[in-house]
Amino acid sequence: MDMTNLIGTLAGGLTTIAFIPQVARTWKTGSSRDISLFTYLLFSSGVLLWLIYGIRLQALPIMLANGVTLLLSVSILALKVRDILRTRRRIRAADQRTL
Amino acid sequence: MDMTNLIGTLAGGLTTIAFIPQVARTWKTGSSRDISLFTYLLFSSGVLLWLIYGIRLQALPIMLANGVTLLLSVSILALKVRDILRTRRRIRAADQRTL
Q: Is A82 an interface residue toward B (CB < 8 Å)?
A: no
Q: Inform me whether the pLDDT recorded for A14 exceeds 80.
A: yes
- Identify which of B13, B21, B36 has the shortest CB distance to residue A39: B21
Q: What are the domain boundaries of chain B?
A: 3-94
**Contacts A4 to B, Cβ<8 Å:** 53, 56-57
Q: Categorize the per-residue pLDDT at A20 as very low, low, confident or very high, splitting at 50, 70 and 90.
A: very high
pLDDT tens for each residue of B21-61: 999 999 999 999 999 999 999 999 999 999 999 999 999 99
pLDDT tens for each residue of A40-64: 999 999 999 999 999 999 999 999 9
Q: Inform me whether the pLDDT recorded for A97 exceeds 90.
A: no
The CATH class that applies to domain B3-94 reads mainly alpha
User: Shortest CA distance to B37 belongs to which of B87, B74, B88, B92?
Assistant: B74
Which B-chain residues 36-55 have CB contacts (< 8 A) with chain A?
36, 38-40, 42-43, 45-47, 49-50, 52-53
**Contacts B45 to A, Cβ<8 Å:** 14
Query: What is the per-residue DSSP string for B23-77?
Result: HHHHHHH---TTS-HHHHHHHHHHHHHHHHHHHHHT-HHHHHHHHHHHHHHHHHH
What pTM value is reported for the model? 0.92
Contact (Cβ atoms closer than 8 angstroms) between residue B49 and residue A10:
yes
**Contacts B12 to A, Cβ<8 Å:** 46, 50
Q: Inform me whether the pLDDT recorded for B1 exceeds 80.
A: no
In whole angstroms, what is the distance from residue B86 CA to residue B26 CA?
A: 14
- Nearest-CA distance from B94 to chain A in Å? 24
Quote the pLDDT of residue A55: 97
Q: Inform me whether the pLDDT recorded for B99 exceeds 80.
A: no
In whole angstroms, what is the distance from residue B46 CA to residue B42 CA?
A: 6
Q: Categorize the per-residue pLDDT at A98 as very low, low, confident or very high, splitting at 50, 70 and 90.
A: confident
Quote the pLDDT of residue B98: 82
Q: How far is CA B23 from CA B41, B78, B80, in A?
A: 15, 10, 10
Contact (Cβ atoms closer than 8 angstroms) between residue B67 and residue B51:
yes
